[in-house]
Amino acid sequence: MGKRFTCHKISEGRAEAQAIVSKDHIMFYLIDPATGTVIEKAHDLEGRSIAHKALIFPGGKGSSVVQADGLYQLNQRENSPAAMIIEHPETVLVSSAIIMEVPMVDRVDPAFYETVKDGDRIVVDADQGIIEILEETEDSK
Amino acid sequence: MQLTQHQQDMLDGKYGKGAAYAMKIQAAIGESFGAERMVPITRAHVALSNQEADLWFAEKMLAGGAKCRVIPTVNPGFCLEFFKNRDMVAPEYADLMQRTHNAYKALGAQLSYNCTPYIDTNVPNYREVIAFSESSATPYANAVWGARTNREGANSALCAAITGCVPEYGLLLDENRKGDILVEIQADVKNDFDYHIIGMLGKKIGEGIPVFTGFPKETITKEALRNLGAQLNTSGAYGMYHIVGVTPEAPDLGTALGGKAPKRTVVITNEDKEAILKEISLEGSRTIDFAMFGCPHFTLEEVKYIAEKLEGKKLKKEMWILTSSHVKEMAVRMGFDRIITDAGGFIVPDSCPDQPCWRHLTGKVGITESPKCAYYPQRRGIHFVIRDLDTCIEAALTGEVK
């Protein structure tokens, strides 16, 4: 069993996925729905895809409508993040995650942030309030 | 979370599926933020976007029989009459706008199509509990009017309009409205454009509630405050701010900070302004194809200012000025519309720069005074030089920006 950390449920659900860590706030509207690739200039994740990943990020930014549409478009093409781990939740992103049914958690044990590395396979279980970093496998290297 | 009998009945479906779904979403939001109860609202503003997700959600509510208990004002999509008559919009997008119009009409919204309700169409009172989405509207309602709203999304604001209540957390509570970042403006601030640029420094200001000092009083106009809030929410996510000695919950620095020391102090200099402008704008010294203003919607005063600059002149490039239908009507009555039309420009009501009605601008280079206007249409292949309003007007007259 891997290392487990507590967290707090925002949007229900459970997902196992590869972690992707963003230092910058996320604007879902500037992510290409067809590929999940971040197209925002000078963004920490510019050129990388968040599709099917467990997205670890500080918070959302940008207009109150386009976040929902960005996530919706990703959802329609099955390129949403598998789960979201957020430090500073705000209503716009929280309501988008709930409506689009993407698991989302916050208030994660601070040790998680020191341990998790980009590319780790993790389980985000919002319902149980647990994040688990799985043992490293060949696939995740 | 404790619900009243009425709220519980709504959640249980006694008022229809739509209202139950709205309440379910709001209860989940409330629980994720630790709200203890739902409280009634007296106003709402829904940032209708005329995008697929927006229409999907509105139609889903409508199919569930939802009706707004509190009549919300709504954001712009695009003016069907204007753009259809000029054959500027593809039929499928005209259809999308028509369906959006029909859905919100049936839900009982006020079809204001204006993103500055805090100036034009839906002005809250001090301490009024409301549900405002639209990024420039939330901070204006909280900071300038002292009303109380969280930074609602378009969806959650529509839910609130339908249920007539919101979960009580965040900016609805006294203790969460205090500032925690001291932002000292040492940069030159001369006009509304400077507020656009300073608002874009969200990354430097950081997460929290800014308390601004150093804005010269005579520069603090409704347009300046509109710009500041709009751009703070383009570069970050801010539901509230204070300006010491100006906004109602900041009579002095101590009160604005709630008697505590700020968690950080940020100094904004001319170098910060220059650096951010360079980062967000295309380079100057080029020809431009068009000018666009009104993101957020321009006021009557701004329309008047442009009209005075254009009187008797001819624009070399297209100029689009986006306003509320009210400002458009006043501009017609007062003769500004005629002056601008004679110069070759357009005052367009009910419309937003980030809409499919601008397809003829794809691949072109515009000029605007609003970073937000430049930010969102990137996705449509429309790019902008960002300069102050006078430079923009000059560029539209000469066809180039120095």
Measure the CA–CA gap between B218 and B20, rounded to whole angstroms: 49
Measure the CA–CA gap between B65 and B16, rounded to whole angstroms: 6
Taking only the tens place, the pLDDT of each residue in A72-124 is 999 999 999 999 999 998 888 899 999 999 999 999 999 999 999 999 999 99
Taking only the tens place, the pLDDT of each residue in B127-173 is 999 999 998 999 999 999 999 999 999 999 999 999 999 999 999 99
Name residue A5's beta-bridge partners.
A131
Domain edge (last residue) among B122, B155, B172: B172
Which residues in chain A are closer than 8 Å to B116, comparing Cβ atoms? Answer: none
Compute the radius of gyration of chain A from its Cα atoms. Answer: 14
CA distance B6 to chain A (A): 23
What is the model's pLDDT at position B115?
96
- The chain A residue lying nearest B32, using CA atoms, is A10
Is the predicted ipTM greater than 0.95, yes or no? no
CB A85 within 8 A of CB A110: no
Is residue B355 within 8 angstroms of chain A, CB to CB?
A: no
Provide the pairing of β-strand B286-287 with B290-298.
Answer: unpaired
User: Catalytic pick from A22, A63, A80, A95?
Assistant: A63
- Residues A99, B236: C-beta atoms closer than 8 Å: no
Distances B358 to A98, B84, B89, B380 between C-alpha atoms, Å: 32, 12, 7, 9
Determine how many CB atoms are found less than 10 A away from the CB of residue B187.
19
pTM score of the predicted model: 0.91
Work out the average pLDDT over B57-77.
97
The count of domains in chain B is 3
CB B401 within 8 A of CB B385: yes
Provide the pairing of β-strand A104-106 with A8-11.
Answer: antiparallel
Work out the average pLDDT over B41-61.
95
Residue B295, pLDDT above cutoff 50: yes
Is residue B116 within 8 angstroms of chain A, CB to CB?
A: no
Lowest mean per-residue pLDDT among B30-39, B57-66, B122-131, B370-379? B370-379
CB B129 within 8 A of CB B160: no
- Residues A89, B33: C-beta atoms closer than 8 Å: yes
Residue A60, pLDDT above cutoff 90: no
Is B75 in the same domain as B163?
yes
Q: Which residues of A touch B (CB under 8 A)?
A: 8-12, 25, 29-30, 39, 42, 58-69, 71-73, 76, 88-96, 98-99, 106
To which residue do tokens 């609202």 refer? B41
Handedness of CA B285, B290, B291, B294 (dihedral sign): negative
Taking only the tens place, the pLDDT of each residue in B269-281 is 999 999 999 999 9
CB B162 within 8 A of CB B25: no
Which residues in chain B are closer than 8 Å to A95, comparing Cβ atoms? Answer: 25, 29, 152-153, 155-156, 159
What is the model's pLDDT at position B378?
85
| Closest to A90 measured CA to CA, from B276, B73, B33 | B33
Picking from A31, A35, A95 by the largest number of B CB atoms within 10 A of its own CB, the best residue to mutate is A95
Is B83 in the same domain as B189?
no
Is B36 in the same domain as B133?
yes
DSSP string, B50-81: -SHHHHHHHHHHHHTT---SS--EE--B--HH
What is the model's pLDDT at position B225?
98
Work out the average pLDDT over B39-57.
95
Provide the CA A105 distance to its chain's centre, in angstroms. Answer: 9
- Residues A91, B202: C-beta atoms closer than 8 Å: no
CB B314 within 8 A of CB B393: no
Is B263 in the same domain as B362?
no
Band of pLDDT at residue A140, cut at 50, 70 and 90? very low
Report the CATH number at residue B385.
3.30.499.10
Is residue B275 within 8 angstroms of chain A, CB to CB?
A: no
Band of pLDDT at residue B379, cut at 50, 70 and 90? confident
CB B170 within 8 A of CB B239: yes
Handedness of CA B77, B78, B81, B84 (dihedral sign): negative
Residue B376, pLDDT above cutoff 90: no
- Residues A64, B33: C-beta atoms closer than 8 Å: no
Is B39 in the same domain as B160?
yes
Domain edge (last residue) among B172, B188, B208: B172
Is B132 in the same domain as B16?
yes
CATH of A1-123 given 2.60.40.420, 3.40.50.720, 3.40.1000.10, 3.50.30.10: 3.50.30.10
Alpha helices in B247-297 (DSSP H): 253-256, 270-280
Domain edge (last residue) among B276, B292, B317: B276
What is the model's pLDDT at position A136?
66
Is B318 in the same domain as B381?
yes
Which domain range does residue B9 map to?
A: 3-172
CA distance B384 to chain A (A): 14
Residue A65, pLDDT above cutoff 80: no
Q: Is B77 exposed, middle or buried (0-12, 13-18, 19+ CB in 10 A)?
A: buried
CB B236 within 8 A of CB B203: yes
Is B136 in the same domain as B189?
no
Report the CATH number at residue B40.
3.30.499
Is B252 in the same domain as B388?
no
Is B185 in the same domain as B314?
no
To which residue do tokens 């005063």 refer? B301
Is B197 in the same domain as B167?
no
What is the model's pLDDT at position A141?
43
| Closest to B183 measured CA to CA, from B253, B247, B277, B237 | B253
Tokens (6 digits) for A108: 């994660």
A80 counts as catalytic: no
Q: Spell out a b/e string for B45-55, using b for 16 or more CB atoms within 10 Å of the CB, else e.
A: bbbbbbbebbb
Residue B294, pLDDT above cutoff 50: yes
Is B20 in the same domain as B168?
yes
Backbone angles phi, psi at B317, to 5 degrees: -120, 160
Provide the CA B119 distance to its chain's centre, in angstroms. Answer: 11
| Closest to A7 measured CA to CA, from A122, A131, A120 | A131
